[in-house]
Chain A
């Protein structure tokens, strides 16, 4: 099966004043469709930087990144944004919902940006997703009325509503207690198992790593 994510000899450098910090040294990773991949490593090891490369949020200094067959290196901001909208779902450590929108509107947001579905189909799709994450009763509540775990469920629904090729989650359980965090990982695992959505998430929690079908360990900007 061809890889859905391909990082080849990726080097990422950040300018830091007059110095240059090398966040990634020659990283090569290939991930196939349907995998439930954990990127693990200590703080500062380069997990976020790798996810940013895969998520088309940034491009490498040297080396190539290929997402679902598309090389990102030479894409401009507009093209990268379009790629993110259509191919990638994001789940954040601190949930990052739009505060002034309710659950339904938060989940609907990416669909509106895509503008592909009619309002009726959008409604059905949003309801289906919200049900999958178990928040049908909270449909019209705003994020500040929800618990952390519920908020992350909304974020998951929002990430998956467009049927993306890849869902990225940067330490999705770091802001949750261990029980809730575990439930979130289980939910992601279920969605992965049922819909074959590719999940890539970073963590430094060994219990979370256990649930992965594939584990990529990084340290000091290198895959080990």
Chain B
């Protein structure tokens, strides 16, 4: 085996030009794959970040209250008791946020935006309010200054709202201006409330088009909610990867505590109004989901991106595989006499097969390693450069204003192993051809 590796290695060195050419091709594909995967991972990170900031906790305990069979209100009654169960039954709980939920139109001088409302109680989540990144005026107002005008902590006062930059731009409002929120209340009538913009937050991807933060008391007032209700509990745990487990655990615990639960439906709550309104029950049912469910429509975008990645990689891989296969056929042809000699001396067919597979795999390992390192370096560079995304549609897909890429060691290792194996597989046919050659034919004694 050692000798076979040596022969394979030295033949690669001997055919330096061919080796380098093929390595360059394989390396480029590896680099591209690493770039695409790092971009995908970056988008995924953006998604997690914006989803768990704007739309959900790691796990969400929400629900619908139905005063009559045909009405569905997105709220949790008996909120104190529900919170107690969550606090007691969530392993590795980090913290819980209670958010009010609403859905309606905001009207300003420039137009109207359809959006969800998140009711914020400042004393409950000072950390979130403090870390919310505010936009400079020029980000939402033409001819604006490079200066932050608002103050997010003023969300604590009644009648206040924090918009995102894209909304402020469309509504043509600035900090201090008034907007009107119009919604349908629980009893089926339209209600409106005037709100004052206290801050404009920096956009957090696509989700920030459909979300505004509003003072919780004002939300209660619009929807005429009692104190022991909330829209949803956003539950944060120490390890987001355990979210599924925690969700399933909470479903059991809440059911045991006597609450009615909706079946798990992996979609955001605003997709569920019609279904729930069409069901034949009244009273309260809880809906337990995880963050991914609340942004399922964005997860689909990410899946589509991954599909494109897979497709591009597959096409390139096929082209490269044909190149590798072709080159190996040439190698085998050139070394026919050597194969015959070794077979005469007493090497078995299997070892000849191994010899050529080793040669291809060695080449693959070298090329993919270099390619993966280059891909990682490029990804880190692009991420650090924080290129602004120029096209709004692309911003929506990338879920960020700048290109964010995340390089993971596992991604690199996977790419190297996967593409090396592919290189080996591409060499399988020519290697078999080499192994099957009869020694007298290979030695040229017989045609």
Report whether chain A binds chain B.
yes
A residues sitting closer than 8 Å to B (CB atoms) are 14, 48, 52, 55, 57-58, 77-78, 81-82, 84-86, 90, 92, 96-101, 105, 108-110, 112-114, 158
Q: Could you say which residues of chain B place their CB within 8 Å of the CB of A85?
A: 345-347
The 8 Å CB contact of A52, one of B10, B13, B440, is B440
- Pick the interface stretch among B205-213, B322-330, B335-343: B335-343
Residue of B nearest to A83 (CB): B346
B348 and A78: CB pair below 8 A?
Answer: yes
Residue of B nearest to A92 (CB): B341
A100 and B343: CB pair below 8 A?
Answer: no
Q: A81-B346, A96-B337, A99-B14 are in contact. Are A109 and B445 (CB under 8 A)?
A: no
Q: Could you say which residues of chain A place their CB within 8 Å of the CB of B14?
A: 99-100
The 8 Å CB contact of B6, one of A52, A58, A101, A110, is A101
A58 and B344: CB pair below 8 A?
Answer: no
B343 and A112: CB pair below 8 A?
Answer: no
Q: Could you say which residues of chain B place their CB within 8 Å of the CB of A81?
A: 343, 346-349
* Nearest CB in chain A: distance from B332 CB, A: 15
B440 and A57: CB pair below 8 A?
Answer: yes
B347 and A105: CB pair below 8 A?
Answer: no
Q: Could you say which residues of chain A place their CB within 8 Å of the CB of B7?
A: 98, 100-101
The 8 Å CB contact of A77, one of B342, B345, B349, is B349
Q: Could you say which residues of chain B place their CB within 8 Å of the CB of A57?
A: 344, 439-440, 443, 445
Residue of A nearest to B3 (CB): A112
Q: Could you say which residues of chain A place their CB within 8 Å of the CB of B440?
A: 52, 57-58
Interface residues of A, dominant DSSP = helix
Q: Could you say which residues of chain A place their CB within 8 Å of the CB of B446?
A: 14, 58
Residue of B nearest to A112 (CB): B3
Query: Which residues of chain B in 13-42 are interfacial with respect to chain A, using CB atoms and an 8 Å cutoff?
Result: 13-14
Residue of B nearest to A90 (CB): B344
Residue of A nearest to B344 (CB): A90
Q: Could you say which residues of chain B place their CB within 8 Å of the CB of A99?
A: 14, 338
B11 interfacial by beta-carbon distance below 8 Å: yes
Q: Could you say which residues of chain B place their CB within 8 Å of the CB of A101?
A: 3, 6-7, 10
The 8 Å CB contact of A113, one of B340, B345, B349, is B345
A109 and B345: CB pair below 8 A?
Answer: yes
A157 and B79 CA atoms in complex are apart in Å by: 91
The 8 Å CB contact of B338, one of A78, A98, A114, is A98
A105 and B6: CB pair below 8 A?
Answer: yes
Residue of B nearest to A52 (CB): B440
B3 and A158: CB pair below 8 A?
Answer: no
Query: Which residues of chain B in 138-187 are interfacial with respect to chain A, using CB atoms and an 8 Å cutoff?
Result: none
Q: A96-B337, A101-B10 are in contact. Are A55 and B3 (CB under 8 A)?
A: no
A109 and B438 CA atoms in complex are apart in Å by: 20
Q: Could you say which residues of chain A place their CB within 8 Å of the CB of B2?
A: 112
Q: Could you say which residues of chain B place their CB within 8 Å of the CB of A112?
A: 2-3
A78 and B445 CA atoms in complex are apart in Å by: 20
* Nearest CB in chain B: distance from A119 CB, A: 10
B11 and A84: CB pair below 8 A?
Answer: no
B445 and A52: CB pair below 8 A?
Answer: yes
Could you jot down 10 A-B contacts, CB within 8 Å?
Answer: A48-B445, A52-B445, A57-B443, A85-B345, A96-B337, A98-B7, A100-B13, A101-B3, A108-B3, A110-B346
Most A-side CB within 10 Å, residue of B6, B337, B343, B443: B443
* Nearest CB in chain A: distance from B5 CB, A: 12
A62 and B439 CA atoms in complex are apart in Å by: 20
Residue of B nearest to A58 (CB): B440
Q: Could you say which residues of chain A place their CB within 8 Å of the CB of B438?
A: 58
